[in-house]
Each structure stands twice: as structure tokens, then as C-alpha cells.
């Protein structure tokens, strides 16, 4: 791949909104994730979940994060972005339960972009990410902090 084919820090516009894609939540996947990473009863059993505010089996919030990441990563790879990973997220909030059968949509809006002072070849982009369900109800929100390569010859 040629470097001119990549999407660099300079190509990302402040305020740009991207629909990264969709994810269909399955019962099998909710159970598999819960068994492996978050074995709380309301993630594993309708009977136990019925005793809680969830009412039925709900996906782990961490599973919701993983599903959103899968959607974002596919889009970033497809668009050939010059991403360098992320040092973290801010203000992660699980707003509503995610249930098997839900269809999640992941959308991001660029809210800040800053060239690195210490590493001129890198820029940092902050994106407000919102995950909604099939009823367009927000189920999760966070601000991602992503490092991207700057276009060769800029910022150096």
C-alpha cells in the first residue's frame, strides 16, 4: 500500500460524523462472552435477569464495548487509516441495556484534534462515540482518544 493511499491525521476534519456500521447481537455471543469474561447471573440466565431491572438476559457492558470496537476496527481497516492505537477512552457510560436481538449502530463525531508536541509525526484525535439500538436509543457513549500518523513531511 502506498502512503498516499492512507487516511492521515490531516485528512480528518473537526466535526466530521461517521457511521461506522452495525452489529447484530446474538444470544449465543452474549452467553459466550459472559461465561468467559463477566459471569454475573443476569448475563447468563433469563430467570436470574428477571429478578433485576434488566428483566431478561442482557449483554455485559464490556461486551458492548467489544462489539462497538469490532465495528469501528472494520471501518478503520477498510478505509486504510494511519491509526496508531489509542491510549484510552474518557467518560464511558452504559446508558441502556443491550439485549440479544438488538441491532447496534456505532457513530462517531470528531470533537478535537491536536498535533503531538513531543512527537511531531503523530496527532491525537478525540471522537465522541455513540452506540444506539434499533430504536435509535443510545445504549453507550464514550470519548475515544486515538493516535494517528501525520502525513509524511508535515509537522516534522
Domains of the chain by range and CATH?
Answer: 3-149 (3.10.129.10)
> What confidence tens digit (pLDDT) does each residue in 11-21 have?
999 999 999 99
Confidence category of residue 120, pLDDT binned at 50, 70, 90: confident
Residue 66 belongs to what H/E stretch?
A: helix 61-78
Asked if 18 contacts 108 with a C-beta cutoff of 8 angstroms, the reply is yes
The mean pLDDT of 64-85, rounded to a whole number, is 92
Would you call 56 helix, strand, or coil by DSSP? Answer: coil
pLDDT of residue 65: 98
Q: What is the pLDDT of residue 96?
A: 97
How would you list the strands of the sheet with 122-132, edge to edge? 17-24, 103-115, 122-132, 138-149, 88-94
Model confidence band, residue 78 (pLDDT cutoffs 50, 70, 90): confident
pLDDT at residue number 4 = 62
> What's phi and psi for 9, nearest 5 deg?
-50, -45
Question: Among candidates 91, 86, 94, 100, which has minimal Cα distance to 132?
Answer: 94
Q: Is the pLDDT of residue 3 over 70?
A: no
pLDDT, position 1: 42
Distance CA 29, CA 26 (A): 5
Amino acid at each position: 500500500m502506498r502512503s498516499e493511499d492512507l487516511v492521515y491525521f490531516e485528512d480528518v476534519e473537526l466535526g466530521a460524523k461517521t457511521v461506522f456500521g452495525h452489529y447484530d447481537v446474538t444470544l449465543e455471543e452474549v452467553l459466550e462472552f459472559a461465561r468467559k469474561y463477566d459471569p454475573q447471573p443476569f448475563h447468563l440466565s433469563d430467570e436470574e435477569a428477571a429478578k433485576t431491572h434488566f428483566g431478561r438476559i442482557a449483554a455485559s457492558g464490556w461486551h458492548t464495548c467489544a462489539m462497538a470496537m469490532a465495528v469501528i476496527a472494520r471501518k478503520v481497516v477498510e478505509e486504510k487509516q494511519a491509526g496508531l492505537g489509542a491510549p484510552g477512552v474518557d467518560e464511558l457510560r452504559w446508558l441502556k441495556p443491550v439485549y440479544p436481538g438488538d441491532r447496534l449502530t456505532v457513530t462517531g463525531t470528531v470533537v478535537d484534534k491536536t498535533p503531538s508536541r513531543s512527537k511531531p509525526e503523530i496527532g491525537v484525535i478525540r471522537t465522541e462515540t455513540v452506540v444506539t439500538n434499533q430504536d435509535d436509543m443510545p445504549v453507550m457513549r464514550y470519548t475515544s482518544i486515538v493516535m494517528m500518523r501525520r502525513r509524511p513531511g508535515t509537522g516534522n
